[in-house]
Structure 1
Amino acid sequence: MSLGEKANNVAFSSMLLSVASMRKADELTISYGAPGIELMEQAGRGVAEKIMQIFPTHTKVLVVCGPGNNGGDGFIAARILLENSYNVMVALLGVADDLKGDAAEAAERWAEPMFSVGEINLEEFDVVIDALFGAGLNRPLDGEALDIVERINAAGKVIVSVDIPSGISGDTGAISGEAVRATHTVTFAAYKPGHFLYPGAAYVGELSVVDIGISPQTIEQVHEGLFANGPGFWQEALPQLEYGSHKYTRGHALVLSGGITATGAARLAARGALRIGAGLVTIAAPPVSVPIHASQLTAIMLREMASVDDLNGIIADKRFNAVVLGPALGVGNGTQELVAAVVKAGRPIVLDADALTSFAGSLDTLARLTEKTDTVVTPHEGEFFRLFNNENEILKGFSKIERAKFAANYLKATVVLKGADTIIAAPDGRVCINTNGTPLLATAGTGDVLAGMIGGLLAQGMSSFEAASAAVWLHAEAARNFGPGLIAEDVPEMLPTVLHKWHVS
């Protein structure tokens, strides 16, 4: 099951909670009068109910409990499963006398024997519940903890992890050494960033969230601007056709083309802009490239652009209301000048590929431009580090979310940091983690299509953060709908199917 299917498998809030925010939500809920042990009861019950949905009674279940609250959730799940005629054994990492607080109370409510993790034979069980460590773990597993995780992974059993697979950071998805490879993960109140960030996301399995009594108002109160990217986040902002709409009310996107041997990328971007709903799309191309484009284009229009002066003349027409620069445009001062011209005209702008590489070593020059207009930049990791080369000491040790936020603040632009777990960061601090990434997009030209799709949504009046988030998700969904054999040209042609599914008229 893909991350997109995981995220859309249940009705969920787009809000993600960091480990610190989740801790605050727990504390606030307890301060409002809900005892911590009752939150733990609800969490453990949610885990038990997941087992009961999948497996019949008398299934043999091993619950491996850690020394903290994650282990407490496991004790509750074990008791409820036993009460419902499952064959349950509990193994504890550590010593029962060392348990504290709600975890100690949960262990007392388990009236059956408990064993040490070194005593159990995993081959005897059908299902293993991983209740070792939750999302707050921030150190590598070692010793007996590492040994039991390696044994769990090697046993080949169905594994249900509590909160997040043990060994994965809930904030970054990082794994230091080893982590449980879960079949299912049950988390509480809200999803965590680590559920969707790689490498940890590959260990999560089928993901579900359980309501444990933390109110939506509390979640909103502690929320720090982290979102899961999916239709629930941006669908209401998608442009809709109305009676009386015509091509000019749907926006006019302009895509700049490179030279004679580099025209395809601009056509891919233009096609993406057109299929995402822009009313008109024009490619502006050097004279030598015009005949090649003219032989390939139908619905997309064409203008000759021999110089920056020509570009200034084109965008003097205010109906051009979004511009895409970068796909195979060429690297150098000439591209910098084109970017500056579009910024001076005050148009929303998407900067991709060569438009970013042209500013490698001139980051501050780029920042002085991007802060002046509504800008989306779309680097992959290599382009990001070339662009921010002078900031590498600052960025050393930053998570992917932190790097994207740093770049968005530095450039005063929306940053799409591409990859399997694409991050979209806004200059106001909001961050969206994509949830449906697919390796099908690992083929030449798909990034050009994405740049065009963002430009097409900007042309229709979407804000840059929502436009980038929607385009990223729809881009991946189009690829997933097509399936194996996908090439870049297929992505725009799948957009009508995807848009129809999400009721975009």
Structure 2
Amino acid sequence: MPISELKKLPGHDQEVMALSPNPRPILSLKEMRAAEMAAMKRGASVDDLMEKAGKVAAEIAKCFSGSMPTLILCGPGNNGGDGYVVARYLSEWGIPISVAALSEPKTEAAKKARSLYKGKVVPLDEAEPAPLLIDALFGVGMSRPLDETLISRLKILAKAASLRIAIDVPSGINTDNGELLSDIPSFDLTIAIGALKPAHRLEPAATLCGRVAVGDIGLILPKPSLMEIAKPCLAAPTASDYKYSRGYVAVTAGAMAGASLLSATAAQRAGAGYVALFGGETNAGTMALVHRSWSREALADERINALVIGPGLGRDELGWQRLSMALDTSHPLILDADALFLLKREGLDCLRNIHQPTIMTPHEGEFQRLFSGIDGDKLTRVKKAAALSGLVVVLKGADTVIATPDGRAAISQPAVSWLANAGTGDVLSGICGAMLARGLEPFEAACAAVWLHSEAARLAGPAMIADDLIEHVRSALIEVTVTV
């Protein structure tokens, strides 16, 4: 995030790069260490990297909070060293600074950073609260809980502060999976040093991180296997386009008419040129929505670019018959809701026999039923499920994770909490259908759909329902559409 934009963004960090070609990488601790080692092989030292990290963190902190009196908590390692560099710069810029240390520095770089800071350093238990609290205690690499006495002291100082900033990650968080190792306070801003880490986007850590700004320290980052879901860049229709060239989405109706109608309408609002609802018992919906009887002949239409099946399908024999017919086609598929229940009933071999481009969009409960033998943290589970099924898997939630069979994955920015509402998943299925139908590959289609879905929710605002969400899909699409 450009420092100049920090004060302009409401809520969580909303600035994202285009889906192509520059999504922001998310690096594991191992990958981050490798990037730092590569920088040192090119001539940088640990001291150089710490100086850059501390300076950029100080710049971001000043931009975020102004000249508020600041208390910096420094730990014994290199995260604490970053804190001493921050203290030095903020002090040079005329900001009232106090520093409290958990212990004396233990790494050579941290010792040097401490020596260059000429201000007073007090023991942590003697620290006086300040309007701005900066946590530079432990950062990345934590694998065990914090001492209870330390947690208690941290909570007291955090509660007394008006703003709270963490350097790299809040102390007490597992960097690679977002697990909370301790009962720690929340922060208003986390400054990710060098690159985003999984904990910045995976719950429950993501909520405690607050807004996240990336501090560039000049590392050459590897090509990511994990990235942040980014703002897509979608081409507007050209003069030569017509309704079918913009994408024909077929949505399968079933036992619950409302769910499939939500999907179909969302596909329309997400830019599909032609949307048909197959097998519905109602003529509700927009005037432009085509209603067709369910038949093998209708399903065989070669103009269909994406087939959405599952929302409102039903779990009875008729639902299974329709799902079986859909699986027998060559149309790209979006599998959701009741389709996932029926696939669990038939066994995972049914998934492995799907050969057309396919996106499945389970919520946590559906995922656990379908992939009951897979354990681990959320990111690990989704990647395992994608590899096992051979399909693109979208595990929905506050921290939606998308994974491909070849190991690529993406995590969303924190979602609007009002999305926890009936029907919003059906809307996502329809948007996925529109993205597949316009010719995007399944992973790119899923990423674009999740971004549009989340942005529409942000635009719809508090107390929205799925119908409101659909009304704002169009506005979200306008934001990302460019004339070629």
Same fold, TM-score > 0.5, yes or no? yes
Describe the shift of the 1:5–1:302 C-alpha distance in structure 2 as closer, same or farther (beyond 3 A): same
1:329 is matched with which residue: 310, 313, 326?
A: 313
How far off its partner does 1:280 sit?
0.7
> Deviation string for 1:367-411 (max 9, x for gaps)?
2333x111111100001111122x1xx41xx11111110111111
The residue that corresponds to 1:385 in the other structure is 368
Within the candidate set 247, 250, 254, 1:254 is matched to: 250
Provide the C-alpha distance between the structure 1 equivalents of 2:22 and 2:100, rounded to a whole number of angstroms: 32
Provide closer, same or farther for how the CA distance between residues 314 and 54 of structure 1 changes in structure 2, counting only shifts above 3 A.
closer
Q: Please state which structure has a larger fraction of its residues in helix.
A: 1
Alignment of 1:106 onto 2:113: yes
User: Hey, what does 2:405 align to over in structure 1?
Assistant: 427
- Displacement of 1:470 after TM fit? 0.7
Instruction: Output one character per residue of 1:431-455: Cα deviation in whole Å (capped at 9) or x when no partner.
Output: 1111151122222111111101101
Of 324-333 and 268-277, deviating more is 324-333
Gaps of 5+ in 2: 1-9
CA distance, structure 2, for counterparts of residue 28 and residue 145 of structure 1:
35
Matches within 5 A, 1:4-153: 4-5=13-14, 13-55=23-65, 57=67, 59-96=68-105, 99-122=106-129, 125-153=130-158
TM-score of the aligned structures, taking structure 1 as reference length: 0.89
> 2:356: which partner in 1?
373
**2:184 alignment partner in structure 1:** 179
Instruction: Encode CA deviations 1:471-493: one digit per residue, 9 max, x unaligned.
Output: 11111111211212322122222
Does the 8 A contact of 1:239 with 1:461 survive in 2?
no
Which of 216, 219, 222 in structure 2 is aligned with 1:220? 222
Query: TM-score, structure 2 length as denominator?
Result: 0.92
Which of 244, 260, 267 is the matching residue for 1:273? 267
Task: Write the letter of the residue equivalent to 1:277.
Answer: G
In structure 1, distance between residues paired with 2:267 and 2:313: 17
- Kept after mapping to 1: 8 A contact 2:333/2:358: yes
Larger deviation, residues 66-75 vs 175-184? 175-184
Work out whether residues 207 and 414 of structure 2, in 8 Å CA contact, stay in contact via their aligned partners in 1. Answer: no
Q: Does 1:478 align with 2:456?
A: yes
Which of 191, 203, 209 is 1:198 aligned to?
203
The answer to whether the aligner puts 1:263 opposite 2:257 as a matched pair is yes
Shift of 1:12: 7.9
1-structure distance, mates of 2:206, 2:16: 12
Match of 1:313 in 2: 297
Q: Secondary structure at the match of 2:369?
A: helix
State the shift of 1:39 in Å: 0.8
Asked whether 1:244 is paired with 2:240, we answer: yes
Match of 1:162 in 2: 167
| 1:339 corresponds to which of 323, 332, 335 | 323
**Higher mean displacement: 328-337 or 489-498:** 328-337
State the alpha-carbon separation in 2 of the partners of residues 12 and 206 from structure 1: 20
Contact 2:334–2:359 under 8 Å retained in 1: yes
Q: Deviations over 1:196-232 (max 9, x none)?
A: 1111111112321111121xxx2025x3x1111121x
The amino acid that maps onto 1:248 is Y
Moved more, 159-168 or 111-120: 111-120
What RMSD over aligned residues (CA atoms) do the two structures have, in Å?
Answer: 2.0
Q: Find the aligned partners of 2:287 and 2:90 in 1 and give their Cα distance.
A: 63
Counting matched residue pairs gives: 471
Q: Is the CA contact (8 Å cut-off) linking 2:253 and 2:313 kept in structure 1?
A: yes
User: CA–CA distance in 2 between the matches of 1:343 and 1:264?
Assistant: 23
Aligned pair in 2 of structure 1 residues 386, 489: CA closer, same or farther (>3 Å)? same
Tell me the distance in 1 between the aligned counterparts of 2:94 and 2:463.
48
What secondary structure, in the 3-state scheme, does the structure 2 residue paired with 1:130 have?
A: strand
Q: Which range moved further: 350-359 or 154-163?
A: 154-163
Q: Where has structure 1 moved over 6 Å in runs of 4 or more? A: none
- 1:466 is paired with a residue of what secondary structure? helix
- Counterpart residue number, 1:283: 277
Task: Find the partner of 2:378 among 379, 387, 400.
Answer: 400
Percent identity over paired residues: 37
Assess, with a 3 A threshold, how the Cα gap between structure 1 residues 502 and 146 changes in structure 2: closer, same or farther.
same
Q: What is the SS of the residue equivalent to 2:277?
A: strand
Amino acid at match of 1:42: K
Superposed displacement of residue 497, structure 1: 1.5
Q: Is the 8 A contact 1:252 1:322 kept in 2?
A: yes
**Aligned AA for 1:267?**
L
In structure 2, the residue corresponding to 1:489 is in which secondary structure? helix
Deviation at 1:272, TM superposition (A): 0.9
